[in-house]
Amino acid sequence: MDISFILIQLLNGLQYGLLLFLVASGLTLVFGIMGIINLAHGSFYMVGAYLAFSLSAMTGSLLLAVLLGVVLSVVLGIVLERLLFRHLYQRDHLYQVLLTYGLILVFEELRSIIWGDDVHGVAIPALLNFSLPLTDTLSYPVYRLAISGVCLALALGMYVLIQKTRLGMMIRAGASNREMVQSLGINIKLIYTLVFALGVALAAFAGMIAAPVSSVFPNMGAQVLIICFVVVVIGGIGSVRGALLAAILIGMADTFGKVLVPEFAGMTIYVLMALVLLWRPEGLFKRA
Amino acid sequence: MSDKDKMGIDRREFLLNGAALAGATALGMLPSGLALAQSARVRVGLMLPYTGTYAQLGVAITNGLKLAIQENGNKLGGREVEYFTVDDESDPAKAPENANKLVQRDKVDVLVGTVHSGVAMGMVKVARESGTLLIIPNAGADAATGPLCAPNIFRTSFTNWQPSYPMGKVLADRGMKNVVTMAWKYGAGEEAINGFKEGFTKAGGKIVKELWLPFPNVEFQPLLTEIASLKPDAVFVFFAGGGAAKLIKDWQAAGLKGKIPLFGSGFLTDGVLDAVGDAAEGMETTLHYADSLDIPKDKSFRLAYAKTFKLQPDVYAVQGYDAGQLLVLGAKAVNGDFGKKNEIIAAMEKAVIDSPRGKWTMSKAHNPVQDIYLRKVVGKENRYVSVAHKALADPARGCKMG
């Protein structure tokens, strides 16, 4: 195992971690800040991937597909919040679990009706469809590096939105005391609708830009759901910074787990979670 | 619901038949209970996935099976057929309950299923306990025709060992010495890799390293990095569906395509060619079926299937079709009297199935003895190249039958 091998594996871990952050970022908002347990987060991710597949075939451009898809998923988020989630904020978490589990089944069935059960692929935009040679046998796909860049930009954007803007302040205030914020004359219902729609859009966006590397297939949402919760829990509920750090830690643990202890690769991220929770039961960063 | 209605009707029908029979025998008009057996329909229980990831496979198998019985005039041994269908949801936890529903409530004469190996093992357990005839049209778990084999359990597909084993010799014959394997760490993955390993080491090759991914993880990048630094002569993998599509694309994106050849059992490139574009072009795999086979039965089957279902058949449809053919043969031997179980089993053991994949026979453990083909991806086809292993039988380790 020479130094360049380790460096490339570090890059793999970082790159995977950033992708995980992208998928988990919507959940950080909805679960971490609004306090809703949203099991359907993976379904929104899947919807995004399928939208990218259909829309890029229709428009011939992934960029256009992503723009359209984000708009559609914001609309989806608003509709779901108005019709369903709004009624459950005051209820027990169990109701949210039931509702969102139901949504998983509904979205899977709709997916089956609309798109069928085939595996689909989405083409990588021609501009980014090449690889940088790293060693004589291995190259690195540029699209993956581009995803990493997008993830970093998004992490920064979310941090600024929540910590530095007036809207972010209202969101945080609403999260800690709904009634108080409302009695100060702030339309908390509207804010919650916006945050939820943003969460859906982030999940769908993750699905859209991950689609060219992950392929598009049934149940793809279920695969990312658990790891998203792991990211949010390790990072500390409600912390964007924590989620970013946790995602990168998990990326590293998964990568080096596969290389160093392949027999136990399935366990490494959960061992990491257990250790972090023993050390800091509230996650790496508490709610800011 | 409809289940209840069905039960009600069945019970009424049964009582009517029973009463008629009792009356008839009392009058001395009938020699035995033969009339009852002949008048009722053959009850075929289909336990397959109709929702979830494997839904399409379940549909293809059902279509294939019904096509075979349809070609026999919609009859089994001269009797009409009634299908009882259960969606197994590919959920092993529900398998025994679902199988028992068909066996005990619906009193099926034969049980057909399924795709998922875990669910199939549940069905094997029920079949062994109840003695019901079971035909497995896909699930490849080695054990079903290995340690858990039984006279009433048949399979018309493959064992996980079977399609992988011949690739070992193919690679060794090409002078490849050092090969890395990679698969999901679960039953089918391990059995497939074991098959390849056995074939390859027997032919003088060496497995440099076995790489594993937790199922159904698809983050291949760290392992591709490792493969690139190991520089083996070739890599043999077992993946299917979405994971297979992603691996093929990642392989190309990592610049490994053209430098280190990638091989696998045929599930790697079946059903994913539309999704991967040109990334799979030229890839070679081994399986018991292929596109462009020069077999007349295959041509007529493909035509009939496309005409009936407005769909192109795949390997799963073929396996379902052969399950139907096996059933037709078994029922014919006893004129539709499914009470004569031993005679049906004897007939099915001796069956020569004229399959679209080429003629095959039953091994002593009740698994197909079949040709395994080497195929190459050309455009959107897994095109036939050659026969990698003629009439290959699974070793059926641990099976005490025969």
What pLDDT shows up at residue A1?
Answer: 60
- Tokens of residue B325, six digits: 């053919």
Residue A237 lies in a domain: no
A249, A17 in Cβ contact below 8 A? yes
A49, A235 in Cβ contact below 8 A? no
Query: Is the CB of residue A118 less than 8 Å away from at least one CB of chain B?
Result: yes
Q: What would the pLDDT profile of B353-379 be if each residue is shown by its tens digit?
A: 999 999 999 999 999 999 999 999 999
Look-up of token digits 């952050």: A21
Query: Is the CB of residue A92 less than 8 Å away from at least one CB of chain B?
Result: no
Domains recognised in chain B with CATH numbers:
41-158+295-370 (3.40.50.2300), 161-287 (3.40.50.2300)
Signed CA dihedral, A138, B224, A127, A57: sign only: positive
Q: Which of A131, A252, A258 to mutate to test the interface with B (most CBs of B within 10 A)?
A: A258
Query: Is the CB of residue B246 less than 8 Å away from at least one CB of chain A?
Result: yes
Cα B262–chain centre separation = 25
B256, B276 in Cβ contact below 8 A? no
Could you write out the DSSP letters of every residue in A236-251? Answer: -TT-HHHHHHHHHHHH
Q: What would the pLDDT profile of B128-158 be if each residue is shown by its tens digit?
A: 999 999 999 999 999 999 999 999 999 999 9
Q: Does A288 have pLDDT greater than 50?
A: no
Q: Which of B221, B227, B276, B278 to mutate to test the interface with A (most CBs of A within 10 A)?
A: B221
Q: How far apart, in whole angstroms, are the C-alpha atoms of residue A130 and residue B233?
A: 25
End-to-end CA distance of chain A: 41
Residue A250 lies in a domain: no
Q: How far apart, in whole angstroms, are the C-alpha atoms of residue B290 and residue A80?
A: 46
Q: Where are the beta strands (DSSP E) in B110-214?
A: 110-112, 133-136, 153-155, 178-184, 206-213
Omega before B261 cis (within 30°)? no
Query: Is the CB of residue B245 less than 8 Å away from at least one CB of chain A?
Result: yes
Q: Does B55 have pLDDT greater than 90?
A: no
What pLDDT shows up at residue B39?
Answer: 57
Chain A residue closest in CA terms to B182: A262
Q: Does B21 have pLDDT greater than 50?
A: no
Chain B residue closest in CA terms to A256: B222
End-to-end CA distance of chain B: 45
For the question of an ipTM over 0.90, the answer is: no
Q: Which residues lie below 8 Å from residue A209, measured CB to CB, with a gap of 6+?
A: A22, A52, A66, A147, A150
From A222-226, B24-28, B154-158, the region with the lowest mean pLDDT: B24-28
B203 Cα to chain A: minimum distance (Å): 27
**For the residues A188-200, what does the mean pLDDT come to?**
92
For chain A, the domain total comes to 1
- Grouping H, G, I as helix, E, B as strand and the rest as coil, residue A200 is helix
What pLDDT shows up at residue B332?
Answer: 95
Q: How confident is the model at residue B34 (pLDDT cuts 50, 70, 90)?
A: very low
- Tokens of residue A212, six digits: 């060219």
Query: How do strand B360-362 and strand B368-378 relate by DSSP bridges?
Result: antiparallel
B374, containing H or E segment: strand B368-378
Window 16-35 of A, Cβ < 8 Å to B = 16
Q: Which residues lie below 8 Å from residue A121, measured CB to CB, with a gap of 6+?
A: A53, A212, A215, A216, B245, B249, B274, B275, B276, B277
**For the residues B265-288, what does the mean pLDDT come to?**
92
Omega before B159 cis (within 30°)? no
Q: What would the pLDDT profile of A170-179 be if each residue is shown by its tens digit?
A: 988 888 888 8
What pLDDT shows up at residue B248?
Answer: 94
Query: How do strand B110-112 and strand B153-155 relate by DSSP bridges?
Result: unpaired
Q: Does B99 have pLDDT greater than 50?
A: yes
Q: Which residues lie below 8 Å from residue B185, measured CB to CB, with a gap of 6+?
A: A263, A265, A266, B212, B213, B214, B215
B23, B36 in Cβ contact below 8 A? no
B150 Cα to chain A: minimum distance (Å): 33
C-alpha to C-alpha distances, A47 to A62, A73, A144, A225, nearest whole angstrom: 15, 8, 21, 13
User: What DSSP designation does A120 have?
Assistant: B
Residue A26 lies in a domain: yes
Residue A23 lies in a domain: yes
**For the residues A152-174, what does the mean pLDDT come to?**
90
Q: How far apart, in whole angstroms, are the C-alpha atoms of residue B257 and residue B248?
A: 9
Residue A80 lies in a domain: yes
Residue A255 lies in a domain: no
Average pLDDT, chain B: 89
Residue A194 lies in a domain: yes
Query: Is the CB of residue A229 less than 8 Å away from at least one CB of chain B?
Result: no
Choice between A4 and B344, residue whose per-residue pLDDT is larger = B344
Using an 8 Å CB-CB cutoff, list chain A residues near B224.
138
What pLDDT shows up at residue A195?
Answer: 92
Q: Does B24 have pLDDT greater than 70?
A: no
What pLDDT shows up at residue B178?
Answer: 96
Q: How confident is the model at residue A4 (pLDDT cuts 50, 70, 90)?
A: confident
CB contact under 8 A, B222 and A12: yes
What pLDDT shows up at residue A287?
Answer: 56
Q: How confident is the model at residue B14 (pLDDT cuts 50, 70, 90)?
A: very low
**For the residues B66-72, what does the mean pLDDT come to?**
96
Side by side, which strands form the sheet with B42-48?
A: B75-76, B79-87, B42-48, B110-112, B133-136, B153-155
CB contact under 8 A, B214 and A266: yes
Q: Does B57 have pLDDT greater than 60?
A: yes
Residue A222 lies in a domain: no
Residue B119: closest CA among B49, B38, B221: B49
Using an 8 Å CB-CB cutoff, list chain B residues near A9.
222, 225
B115, B57 in Cβ contact below 8 A? yes
Q: How confident is the model at residue B1 (pLDDT cuts 50, 70, 90)?
A: very low
What pLDDT shows up at residue B233?
Answer: 97
CB contact under 8 A, B222 and A13: yes
Q: What would the pLDDT profile of B184-218 be if each residue is shown by its tens digit?
A: 988 899 999 999 999 999 999 999 999 998 887 88
Q: Domain of A209?
A: 11-118+140-217
Q: Does B11 have pLDDT greater than 60?
A: no
Q: How far apart, in whole angstroms, are the C-alpha atoms of residue B54 and residue B90?
A: 7
